Amino acid sequence: MARLKLGVMISGRGSNLQALIDACKDSAFPADIALVISNIPDVQGLERARKAGIPTQVISHKAYASKNEFEEAITAALTKAGVELICMAGFMRIIGSTLLNRWRGRIINIHPSFLPFYPGLHTHKRALEDKATSAGCTVHYVEEGVDTGAIILQAAVPIEPGDTEESLAARVLVQEHKIYPEAVRLIATGAVRYEEGTVIKNIAIALAFLFLLGGPACAENSLRDSEIKIRAGMHIPADMVACKSNEDCAAVDLPCGPTLGIRADRKAEAKSLICAATQNCPASCDGSAVTTPYALCEDGQCWADYRRK
């Protein structure tokens, strides 16, 4: 199978670029980096790419009279390199309509918060000021607006007593380096696809790549079937299940690795629920009483209630 050609766009040190470079070194990884573009010359990320033998190009926004011309130049470079998916990795410019209209559904970004919480800048500072109990990171498709696109994959990171912006950022970055390559893998293998502003996913494949804090999902979780709507790429801790009620869950084994075996031969006791709608949460979930510690809704509202308790 041909590997998906990536174009990575950066503005700085390129640590997430390095995570993608490292992933692409594995011949089994279904993608390869065709081009790295930076809008700023002489940044560390460019040197990382050169050391890996990856073509680079500096396209400075300052060299163009308008954003349209700037993005036309980027599109020309990406097209010439045969790029099929754009990965934003610390690219510090807001994407405009020229790039979006040409590449919609083929641009992804990694953001250092558990969206929809804390879009934009200073995510860790804001989380600490709010006395949130967890932070995280999100890979999402790029749309108009800041960090508003459909979510592909997420990981949560607990906020520890005494955390500073720097210490929290360092732990979140570890998870960024894990979920960004996995999000690319999901897209390249067809486990996730973009359709009219939403993420459509093969749940059986996608769940196999979800991360727990510290590694791939290697614990028993539960899943009813594809009719249950969970947020695409939602981080699911080991003590949670995706089902409509405690009595309506089939067990799922999540081994380390890309294979997911679904066992529908027994019930699973729900320690938590993923609800179908905000209004049913946390008092009830799909009409069933919630007797669990907390409930997690699609849109994140109940997650917000939980994480601030």
Structural contact between residues 34 and 83, judged by C-beta atoms closer than 8 angstroms? yes
Tokens representing residue 170 in the block = 């360092």
Tokens representing residue 25 in the block = 């070194």
Residue type, 266: R
Structural contact between residues 259 and 265, judged by C-beta atoms closer than 8 angstroms? no
Query: Which is catalytic among the residues 111, 124, 140, 235?
Result: 111
Cα Dmax for the chain:
64
**In terms of C-beta density within 10 A (0-12 exposed, 13-18 middle, 19 or more buried), how is residue 175 classed?**
buried
Tokens representing residue 50 in the block = 């050169």
Closest CA to 144 of 200, 192, 103: 103
Annotated active-site residue 61? The verdict is no
Tokens representing residue 204 in the block = 């059986």
- How far apart CA 105 and CA 197 sit, in angstroms, is 8
Residue type, 204: A
Closest CA to 5 of 30, 25, 28: 30
Instruction: List active site positions.
Output: 111
